[in-house]
Amino acid sequence: MSMCPFPHRGTGRSWDIAPWRMSPMERYMRGFFDEALRDLDRSFGNVAPYWLEQPMMRQADIGNVIGNVTDDKDKFSVEMDVSQFAPDELKVEVRDKELIVQGHHEERSDQYGTIERHFVRKYLLPENSDQQAVNSRLSDSGVLTVVAPKTSSALPPSRTIPIQAAPKAAPKKS
């Protein structure tokens, strides 16, 4: 039996155990810890520095971290929120069929300590993308859009391949 009555299964959600499968003590402990974490979130909201925006009970939103990737017949594009970075702190490059987006804040101190942020995102470009025509744009709201147009790789028209059959052997006479 586990020492922790509510094992967290790493899903990004709060406890995954159905309440009807718990003993009365487990239900009591779950309620106690949920209430304690909610109170802690409320108190952190009043005194937390600006970089501590994620409450402990909030679910992770991995979609915003990765960005929106679109791969259609005309282009390959990536959109991501980089509003915490200035344009001169961002770098977009294409290397060996890979689109690489980087952001780096230099280390600086504030009243809470030292801050440094860095991220790297790598995307494999499609074979028919024009790597020389890749462009990027940073919106006023801090959304970086990188577009790799695709070349018009006209496929050759389909054709029927004739089947060459081996000559039939003459029947054996006995």
84 and 133 in one domain? yes
Structural domain count of the chain: 2
- Rounded Cα distance between 11 and 69, Å, is 23
81 and 145 in one domain? yes
70 and 55 in one domain? no
CATH code assigned at 94 = 2.60.40.790
71 and 139 in one domain? yes
With a pLDDT cut of 70, the percent of the chain lying above it is 68
Residue 169 lies in a domain: no
- Rounded Cα distance between 63 and 78, Å, is 12
pLDDT per position as a tens digit, 13-48: 444 555 556 677 777 777 777 777 777 766 665 555
Residue 155 lies in a domain: no
**What's the predicted TM-score (pTM) here?**
0.51
Task: For Cα atoms 32, 35, 40, give the angle at the middle one, nearest 5 degrees.
Answer: 125
Q: Work out the pLDDT band at 133, boundaries 50, 70, 90.
A: very high
Overall average pLDDT of the 143-147 stretch? 94
- Rounded Cα distance between 97 and 134, Å, is 11
Q: Which structural domain range is residue 32 located in?
A: 1-7+15-59
Instruction: Share the mean pLDDT of the chain.
Output: 75
- Looking at residue 147, its pLDDT comes to 95
- Rounded Cα distance between 45 and 58, Å, is 13
